[in-house]
Structure 1
Amino acid sequence: MKVILFDIDTLRADHMGCYGYGRNTTPVMDGIAKDGVCFDRYYCPNAPCLPSRASMVTGLYGIHNGIVGHGGTAADLRLQGESRSFTDLVSENGLFMQFKRAGLHTVSFSSFAERHSAWWFLSGLDEYYNPGLRGGESADMVTPAVLNWLERNREMEDWFLHVHYWDPHTPYRTPEGIKSRFQDEPLPDDWITDEIFEEHLRHIGPHGANEINMWNDETFSRWPKHPGSLKTRGDAKHFIDLYDDSVRFTDDNIGLIVAWLKEHGLYGDDLAIIITADHGEDLGEFGVYGEHGMADEPVCHIPLIIKWPGTEGGRRIKGFYDNTDLLPTVKELLGTETFGDYRYDGVSFKEPLLGGKECGRSAAVLTQCAHVCQRSVRFDHYIYIRTIHGGYHLLPEEMVFDLDCDPHQLHNLAEEQPELCGRGARMLLEWTERMMKQSDSDRDPMWTVMREGGPEHCRGRLEAYEKRLEETGRAYGIPLLKEQYREEFRGQE
């Protein structure tokens, strides 16, 4: 058997053709979706990059594996402790280990482990190709290495390749000589009106139109296409064009690999392809551009496309699933055994994948603690978002949006429909209590993040950002920040 997992950073599901996007950003992946199964409501339960891949590889939510942020205690897997044997249970039961245990030769093309000091990510791999730029590489640096490996190992019977592309992650980085595919094409959903963009120019908080580079408008010679700020609505459109260009460039590179497989007779029933992402991206939602810093729909709704031997192509699965489910599904498909006393949070979706009964959840719980501290729940056609720390955005404690009619989360229904807030809050409370009852720790790592100074990407930024607001004519926001984050302002006095 041969398996390729295309792990695409920051791929927002609704910017793919197979998820309804009006631009031709993903023709190759759309073709694979026609040959396989597409999951309509698949979620990243712990955003962004590091927590998400920790959930995918361990099959555990961050509240159990300990990783919910990008720094501090909550950026490391919890130690197994006294019960640890010669090897630990997470390493022995992780995603890549299942393919190795099933007899496949396992290879990863990724710099993720080095970027985040996440060396546990390599467990189960026989080979590891690291481009060495800690996420700064583009797809045209990765694809040749994959093709070279395939050429050298074309006679090998059983292998698993993890191919990681960073290109849709900021800074958007299609090679300098490649012209935009979309600059002369209107946006399929031109929701950022003049009025909305004016609000974005007044936005308080990092990664807004005035500070694409999170806290300032600096640009970098290495990535000349990526702007430092957006001055006009046209600039905002250009920025989204750049994102779509990076998605298409990734798709083109996947196409090179798929073409090689077809040319050599390997794109058949014996080949499995999995396409997914760690998280999506906000592209104007909440006034945020080019960041994956919320526990909201654009950030947490991710694609999952699976072409697996024995599956009927062209089907769509409608239930709620999240990336902890991938590992137990792979285990069941491969027939591997669990090592020791290890319990996954995820639930196998083998049955619906192979054409059987749906087994999705009634809701998906989402957590973000790297840029903000939020916990959300996605249910029916709503998302309820509860903010503990707003990351220096001026966010209310409770928000709820009807995504069927408000996909960009413009109209908070919290005051109009408090019963939705009550329903969402209860679901979060019940989920948290259930998770903590199952935990071998008495600590919810979200509160560890709060006790250690808040989200990693905000720590120590307040004073400098206050000056930035003064310099850019947004001093009106300083007293509002001081009111919402009074304890942190008091701490710097």
Structure 2
Amino acid sequence: MRILYIDIDSLRPDHLGCYGYHRNTSPNIDRIADGARRFTNYYTSDAPCVPSRTALFTSRFGIHTGVINHGGLNASMRPRGSGRDFNLQMDEYRTWMTALRDAGLHTALVSVFPQHHGAIQVLDGFDEWHHTDEFRSDHVYPYAEEWIENNAADDDWYLHVNFWDPHTPYNTPEDFGYPFEDEPAPEWPDQETIEDHYESYGPHSAQDVHGWGGDTPFPRTPEEISNREEYKQYVDGYDVGIRYVDEYIGKLLDQLEAEGVLDETLIIVSADHGENMGELNVYGDHHTADDKTCRVPLIVDGPGVEPGVDEEFHYQIDLAPTITEFVDGDVPTGWDGRSFADSLTEGADDTGRDYLVVSQAPWSCQRGVRWDDWLLLRTYHDGLKDFDPVELYDLDADPHETTNLAQEKPDVARKGIALLDEWVSTRLMETARDEAGGNADAPRALTDPMLEVLHEGGPFHARPDEQLESYAERLRETGRAEHAAALEETRGFVDQSIDAYLGGE
């Protein structure tokens, strides 16, 4: 079996043609999707980059590995504990790549990610790692090109290629042009929404679109978003990034075809997380545990794959047991992921989960619950943004998460909170009992890592001790003094009086 995994950073599915987007951003990804199996409710369990890829490659929840942040205690995996053996390759918690290698596949990674993010844990089980030095596709592709030239004809390999172009700040080379210059932007957000966002606050909000404010050296992005024209410039930058990486995906496909192995290769297209393009007043980044940050594309095409669309709920950690089972490998007992191989090979529609819980800790301390058409967000630290303690959205009627229904529908909100509490309790009980991905032998194993992040002062990228003073000054300078005062009082920590917020006694 030959497997090519195309990993595109910050790629939200609804900006791809095969997921219904009105712009031609992805002709080559759409070429893969034609005749493939496409998943519409596929979520990273822990966002964004380091938590997501750690979860993917370990097939374990962040609440079990401890990795939910980009810095501090919870950016590194908890040690195995006193039960650590001499050789981790036979461990019940061995990585996905180790399981594929055990199944006879040669594993290779082309990516700048492990060193850029200090996430060396994702390398466990790779036979080769090619560090690309730069992020753009024109720097990444030559490494993949050379690897395919040297290895395509061999049997039984897995190649993971990590592209970054849709990741902010959207610095696609100027000579690539502006393919969407004459095409309309998405209809949402409208001018009224943008104006409301502009008067609000937060890193990567409409007035502070480049983090905490300030100028940008990148010509494809405006300095702020105060109107539809500036929004169009911004979303054009994101979409051009997708189109640029798509060009290089086309080169990979053409190369596999020239080598005579395209039809024999299982091709997987996915992402580590999505990208908010105005949702929750986050423009061009990934700060939340919502649908837009945590839902990612999954397209699988190749021999033995049943074409069609899977609308069931799946975690990204479910891919490891799925592909391991697909290649007749052994699935370790210490994984949280659940195989949906029957969906992949037979089109089964009963392989999904009843509901999902996803986390965010680098930019806010937040968990989201996804069930039916509902998304519930529970915020513990707002990352210096304007979040309520509980937010409830009907994604079918309100896909851009504009109207918080928590106080209007408290019974639905309480159901979401109950699902969240059940999920956390179940995960911690798994740890206590050494079940699934829970390892009771690990230091701090029975401590929820979200509490550890809060104890450190909040999300790594928005800790008030490091950011609040300068950001409050900017808010006052830009006529938003009332927001500065509110943040100085709360320091980002959100009142947890949930019953009072929902209208209880």
TM-score, normalised to structure 2's length?
Answer: 0.91
| Contact 2:201-2:207 at 8 Å conserved across structures | no
Residue 69 of structure 1 is matched in structure 2 by: 69
Q: What is the SS of the residue equivalent to 1:407?
A: coil
Give the one of 422, 429, 453 matched to 1:437.
Answer: 429
Q: Per the alignment, do residues 153 and 352 of structure 1 end up closer, same or farther by CA in structure 2, a change over 3 Å counting?
A: closer
| Residue 16 of structure 2 corresponds to residue 16 of structure 1 | yes
**Could you tell me how far apart the structure 2 residues matched to 1:484 and 1:154 are?**
56
**Could you tell me how far apart the structure 1 residues matched to 2:84 and 2:490 are?**
44
Residue 166 of structure 2 is matched in structure 1 by: 168
Q: What is the SS of the residue equivalent to 2:40?
A: strand
**Could you tell me how far apart the structure 2 residues matched to 1:308 and 1:486 are?**
47
Matching residue's letter, 2:346:
G
Q: What is the SS of the residue equivalent to 2:211?
A: coil
**1:150 Cα offset (Å):** 1.7
Matching residue's letter, 2:237:
L
Residue 195 of structure 1 is matched in structure 2 by: 192
> Can you list the C-alpha shifts for 1:190-241, whole angstroms capped at 9, x where unaligned?
1222211111211211111222221122323xx4433332343211111011
Matching residue's letter, 2:166:
P
Give the one of 212, 217, 220 matched to 2:214.
Answer: 217
Q: Per the alignment, do residues 466 and 87 of structure 1 end up closer, same or farther by CA in structure 2, a change over 3 Å counting?
A: same
**1:301 Cα offset (Å):** 0.8
Residue 265 of structure 1 is matched in structure 2 by: 260
Alignment of 1:376-415 (within 5 A): 376-415=368-407
Q: Per the alignment, do residues 252 and 422 of structure 1 end up closer, same or farther by CA in structure 2, a change over 3 Å counting?
A: same
Residue 468 of structure 2 is matched in structure 1 by: 462
**1:419 Cα offset (Å):** 0.9
**Could you tell me how far apart the structure 1 residues matched to 2:271 and 2:294 are?**
10
| Residue 239 of structure 2 corresponds to residue 244 of structure 1 | yes
**Could you tell me how far apart the structure 2 residues matched to 1:196 and 1:155 are?**
53
Q: Per the alignment, do residues 217 and 60 of structure 1 end up closer, same or farther by CA in structure 2, a change over 3 Å counting?
A: same
| Contact 1:210-1:229 at 8 Å conserved across structures | yes
Q: What is the alpha-carbon root mean square deviation over aligned residues?
A: 1.7
Matching residue's letter, 1:324:
I
> Can you list the C-alpha shifts for 1:292-317, whole angstroms capped at 9, x where unaligned?
0000111111011111421232x011
Q: What is the SS of the residue equivalent to 1:35?
A: coil
Residue 250 of structure 2 is matched in structure 1 by: 255
Residue 84 of structure 2 is matched in structure 1 by: 84
| Residue 318 of structure 2 corresponds to residue 329 of structure 1 | no
> Can you list the C-alpha shifts for 1:166-195, whole angstroms capped at 9, x where unaligned?
1111111211211111121012x3122221
| Contact 1:93-1:338 at 8 Å conserved across structures | no
> Can you list the C-alpha shifts for 1:4-42, whole angstroms capped at 9, x where unaligned?
000110000111111111111111111211232001110
**Could you tell me how far apart the structure 1 residues matched to 2:336 and 2:391 are?**
27
Alignment of 1:266-305 (within 5 A): 266-268=261-263, 270-305=264-299
Q: Which moved more, 1:352-361 or 1:145-154?
A: 145-154
**1:415 Cα offset (Å):** 1.2
**Could you tell me how far apart the structure 1 residues matched to 2:412 and 2:375 are?**
9
| Contact 2:11-2:274 at 8 Å conserved across structures | yes
Give the one of 345, 364, 371 matched to 1:354.
Answer: 345
**Could you tell me how far apart the structure 2 residues matched to 1:118 and 1:198 are?**
39
Matching residue's letter, 2:46:
N
Residue 501 of structure 2 is matched in structure 1 by: none
**Could you tell me how far apart the structure 1 residues matched to 2:492 and 2:430 are?**
35
Q: What is the SS of the residue equivalent to 1:325?
A: helix
Q: What is the SS of the residue equivalent to 1:228?
A: coil
Q: Which moved more, 1:442-451 or 1:329-338?
A: 329-338
| Contact 1:64-1:435 at 8 Å conserved across structures | yes
> Can you list the C-alpha shifts for 1:123-153, whole angstroms capped at 9, x where unaligned?
12122111124xxx20111112211222233
Q: Per the alignment, do residues 331 and 158 of structure 1 end up closer, same or farther by CA in structure 2, a change over 3 Å counting?
A: closer
Matching residue's letter, 2:357:
V
Q: Which moved more, 1:473-482 or 1:62-71?
A: 473-482
Matching residue's letter, 2:198:
L
| Contact 1:91-1:123 at 8 Å conserved across structures | no
**1:385 Cα offset (Å):** 0.5
Matching residue's letter, 1:317:
D
Q: What is the SS of the residue equivalent to 2:472?
A: helix
> Can you list the C-alpha shifts for 1:234-285, whole angstroms capped at 9, x where unaligned?
11111011101101111111011101112232111x2101111000011011
| Residue 222 of structure 2 corresponds to residue 227 of structure 1 | yes
Matching residue's letter, 1:232:
N
Residue 499 of structure 2 is matched in structure 1 by: none
Residue 434 of structure 2 is matched in structure 1 by: none
**Could you tell me how far apart the structure 2 residues matched to 1:236 and 1:141 are?**
29
Residue 485 of structure 2 is matched in structure 1 by: 479
**Could you tell me how far apart the structure 2 residues matched to 1:359 and 1:331 are?**
16
Matching residue's letter, 2:462:
C
**1:403 Cα offset (Å):** 0.6
**1:421 Cα offset (Å):** 0.6
Q: What is the SS of the residue equivalent to 1:433?
A: helix
**Could you tell me how far apart the structure 2 residues matched to 1:486 and 1:240 are?**
29
Matching residue's letter, 1:120:
Q
Residue 118 of structure 1 is matched in structure 2 by: 119
Q: Which moved more, 1:365-374 or 1:170-179?
A: 170-179
**1:405 Cα offset (Å):** 1.1
**Could you tell me how far apart the structure 1 residues matched to 2:139 and 2:92 are?**
29
Residue 491 of structure 1 is matched in structure 2 by: none
Q: Which moved more, 1:328-337 or 1:401-410?
A: 328-337
| Contact 1:280-1:300 at 8 Å conserved across structures | yes
| Contact 1:91-1:97 at 8 Å conserved across structures | no
Q: What is the SS of the residue equivalent to 1:320?
A: strand
| Count of aligned pairs | 478
**Could you tell me how far apart the structure 1 residues matched to 2:310 and 2:75 are?**
32
**Could you tell me how far apart the structure 2 residues matched to 1:128 and 1:483 are?**
47
Matching residue's letter, 2:373:
H
> Can you list the C-alpha shifts for 1:397-427, whole angstroms capped at 9, x where unaligned?
0100111111100011011111111110000
| Residue 130 of structure 2 corresponds to residue 129 of structure 1 | yes
Matching residue's letter, 1:323:
Q
Q: Which moved more, 1:83-92 or 1:373-382?
A: 83-92
Q: What is the SS of the residue equivalent to 2:242?
A: helix
| Contact 2:153-2:259 at 8 Å conserved across structures | no
Percent of pairs with identical residues: 39
Residue 98 of structure 1 is matched in structure 2 by: 99
